[in-house]
Chains A and B, each alone.
Chain A
Amino acid sequence: MSVEFAGRKLANPVFTASGTCGYADELADFMDVNALGGFITKSITLKPRRGNPTPRIVETDAGMLNAIGLANVGLERFIAEKLPLIAKMEPAVFVNVAGTTIEEYVAVVERLAGEKALAGFELNISCPNVKKGGISFGIDPAQVEEITRAVKKACRSKVLIVKLTPTVTDISVTARAAIAGGADALSLINTFTAMVIDIETRRPVLANRTGGLSGPAVRPIAVYLVNKVYREVAREAGIPILGLGGIRTASDAIEFLIAGATAVAVGTASFIEPDCATQIVGGLHDYCVRKRIASPAELTGTLAGPA
């Protein structure tokens, strides 16, 4: 079940996605976190962030909107309180990094780049729920390249994944920019900016007005975008894709692999079934046995043409 992802050997290609798996201790009651291939922490910023006022979530058909606002303990408390537990984990651990300026991103990465326990970083330039930073970097190709280059320099030997937003005209353009800046891998997609209105009060349900749509509702779009980036950019560049967006079954995960992803991440589904990601590891194993496939890596980018 092992796969190679940006030069790292992973026990399997299944990750838990940033912002849906806390700092690992929360999930440990419900599953063996060591059965995961990779783990991506909640976004870490240089200073602690309170996050947005509530309501921060609202359910929609087959999905949900969130506007958490990058609430996190900040770099120092992350190192003191969360890193020791994370350091003991077997999966490849990536720290998701967010900020409001390039300097903030670089400062967080510089501080953590020497940590042996970490496989690398995921650059969050696609959060739709903060006023400064986040998605404002991720929609402008020139800025994507600039921030990727600056952070990559601070990464030392660590792997740098750049997480892309789907709310652009052509995601291949931002994917190219990230690769030009030195990204070792791409993750896609982050959430779609969306809104739900309370028709009694005629106000947005979320205190932040808008939030990011995730869950099964976005999955077919995510599969399409992964395939598009794979065909147009990533395959030729030899850059692996971490595919995510609405995955909650092994079949969902396999679709992403066929579309071009080297690994997949489970996000919203962990809220409903906390051990969803490890169940998918089991389902993926069964599929490989049934199809006589030695490694899920053999599935990547095997989408056939129309029958």
Chain B
Amino acid sequence: MTQKHESRKKGCHAATVLSNVRAGECFWKMRLRFSGEAAGAFARFRPGQFIEFDTSDLAIPATESIPNALRDGARRSVLLRRPFSFSDVAVQGDATLADLLYCVVGPASLRMTTLRAGDVASLIGPLGNGFTVPAGKRTALLVVGGMGLPPIRCLARLLSTEHKDVEAIAFIGARTVASLPLEERPAAFDGGLSLSVPTFATLGVHSMVATDDGSAGHRGPVTECLARWLQENVDRDRESLIVYACGPERMLEAVAQIAAERDIDCQVSMERRMACGIGLCQSCAIECRVEDSTETVYKLCCQDGPVFDAREVVFGAETA
């Protein structure tokens, strides 16, 4: 080899930060702009797909702006990329814009808050398999648990633009009103189905909110709202319904059970610790059933998922 190797970056892209603002108590929203080859790659981004964001070179915020709960862990160095799913993707001329809604929970997400407009971020993607919309579906029931919102919000956008014959209804759950990852907070949440949540209302999607402590909407798990809606609409053709869910694994398990009891199709977006996101490290194993067998196999969340048919998944590995 006499010539310097020319590195090819297919799948590893640069994105320009357009904005990065606080959107709630611990939520931030970053808008990214892809151009050139990356714009084409991300124009085809499917809701539920994800990216691996490199935060290892980012600065740590000034101590006074680090939340108390994170100060101890904030000094930890970051090595691995972090997976995120976009909450919105839009093509604008030659560019593709993507919204990254994130929760500040540790040293990596804390560093992301220091990115400013004009900065360039390194990310790998689009990765994995997103949600699919099977033919014949008329009603999509979107179930969100806390930070499971972004891919579901992205799906709601897709349904409202490319599947206008499918009515979408969102069920949004969180521990408390403060942990609802919403940029715009409605004045009041009632427990019923309404156009009160702006991020869904702008897409014409009705929604219902539930919190564990009753600080907004229905008091109790969001799965109770889903079960109640299905009870009230028991006369609907089950073949025309589909449930999509993203959130904590305990919630996904409950959603999957509700759907299975009524024999309704259900797709869940799973989460695992992953070092690479591209099938190299083998760390993001999801236990899956093998059809017509009592056996199970490990599939990879990054390559075989993160969206799985709920009937396939053996839940509970990481809920203990």
Which residues of A are at the interface with B, using a C-beta cutoff of 8 A? 1-2, 11-12, 19-22, 26-27, 29-32, 35, 42, 50-51, 53-59, 61-64, 66, 68, 71, 215-216, 268, 270-275, 278-279, 281-282, 285-286
Is the beta-carbon distance between B283 and A56 smaller than 8 angstroms? yes
Is the beta-carbon distance between A64 and B275 smaller than 8 angstroms? yes
Is the beta-carbon distance between B282 and A51 smaller than 8 angstroms? yes
Point out the residues of chain B lying under 8 angstroms from A54, CB to CB.
272-273, 283-285, 317-318
Residue of B nearest to A57 (CB): B283
Point out the residues of chain A lying under 8 angstroms from B317, CB to CB.
53-54
Give A63 to B80 CA distance when docked, in angstroms.
Answer: 8
Is the beta-carbon distance between B12 and A56 smaller than 8 angstroms? no
Point out the residues of chain B lying under 8 angstroms from A66, CB to CB.
275, 281, 283
Residue in B2, B11, B78 whose beta carbon sits within 8 Å of that of A59 in the complex:
B78
Residue in B1, B81, B272, B318 whose beta carbon sits within 8 Å of that of A272 in the complex:
B81
Is the beta-carbon distance between A271 and B276 smaller than 8 angstroms? yes
Point out the residues of chain B lying under 8 angstroms from A71, CB to CB.
282, 285, 298
Is the beta-carbon distance between B7 and A31 smaller than 8 angstroms? yes
Task: Give B41-60 as 1s and 0s: 1 = Cβ < 8 Å from A's Cβ atoms.
Answer: 00000000000001010000
Give A32 to B3 CA distance when docked, in angstroms.
Answer: 14
Give A215 to B77 CA distance when docked, in angstroms.
Answer: 12
Point out the residues of chain B lying under 8 angstroms from A63, CB to CB.
79
Residue of A nearest to B272 (CB): A54
Give A53 to B272 CA distance when docked, in angstroms.
Answer: 11
Point out the residues of chain B lying under 8 angstroms from A270, CB to CB.
276, 280
Residue of B nearest to A29 (CB): B11
Is B279 interfacial (CB 8 A cutoff)?
Answer: yes
Point out the residues of chain A lying under 8 angstroms from B1, CB to CB.
1-2, 11-12, 35, 281, 285
Interface of B is mostly: loop
State the Cβ distance, B54 to closest chain A Cβ, in Å: 7
State the Cβ distance, A20 to closest chain B Cβ, in Å: 6
Task: Give B1-44 as 1s and 0s: 1 = Cβ < 8 Å from A's Cβ atoms.
Answer: 11011011111100000000000000000000000000000000
Point out the residues of chain B lying under 8 angstroms from A35, CB to CB.
1, 5
State the Cβ distance, B12 to closest chain A Cβ, in Å: 6
Point out the residues of chain A lying under 8 angstroms from B285, CB to CB.
51, 53-54, 56, 71
Point out the residues of chain B lying under 8 angstroms from A61, CB to CB.
76-77, 79
Is the beta-carbon distance between B8 and A22 smaller than 8 angstroms? no
Q: Could you give 14 example pairs across A and B, Cβ below 8 Å?
A: A26-B278, A26-B279, A30-B12, A54-B273, A55-B318, A56-B285, A63-B79, A64-B79, A66-B281, A68-B283, A71-B282, A268-B79, A281-B1, A285-B5
Chain B, range 150-188, C-beta contacts under 8 Å to A: none
Q: A42-B282, A55-B318, A61-B76 are in contact. List 11 more A-B contacts (CB 8 A).
A: A1-B2, A2-B1, A30-B11, A35-B1, A54-B273, A54-B317, A57-B273, A57-B281, A71-B282, A274-B280, A275-B9
Is the beta-carbon distance between A56 and B273 smaller than 8 angstroms? yes
State the Cβ distance, A192 to closest chain B Cβ, in Å: 16
State the Cβ distance, B244 to closest chain A Cβ, in Å: 23
Known A-B contacts A57-B274, A57-B275, A274-B12; A286 and B77 likewise in contact (beta carbons under 8 Å): no
Is B124 interfacial (CB 8 A cutoff)?
Answer: yes
Point out the residues of chain A lying under 8 angstroms from B279, CB to CB.
22, 26
Point out the residues of chain A lying under 8 angstroms from B4, CB to CB.
282, 285-286
Is the beta-carbon distance between B281 and A62 smaller than 8 angstroms? no
Is the beta-carbon distance between A55 and B273 smaller than 8 angstroms? yes
Give A279 to B4 CA distance when docked, in angstroms.
Answer: 9
Is B117 interfacial (CB 8 A cutoff)?
Answer: no
Is the beta-carbon distance between A64 and B80 smaller than 8 angstroms? yes
Residue of B nearest to A20 (CB): B280
Give A279 to B9 CA distance when docked, in angstroms.
Answer: 11
Task: Give B255-297 as 1s and 0s: 1 = Cβ < 8 Å from A's Cβ atoms.
Answer: 0000000000000000011111011111111000000000001
Residue of A nearest to B285 (CB): A54
> When A and B form their complex, which 7 residue pairs have the shortest distance between CB atoms, in order from nearest?
A271-B276, A57-B283, A56-B283, A282-B5, A26-B279, A1-B1, A271-B275
Give A147 to B249 CA distance when docked, in angstroms.
Answer: 44
Give A274 to B81 CA distance when docked, in angstroms.
Answer: 11
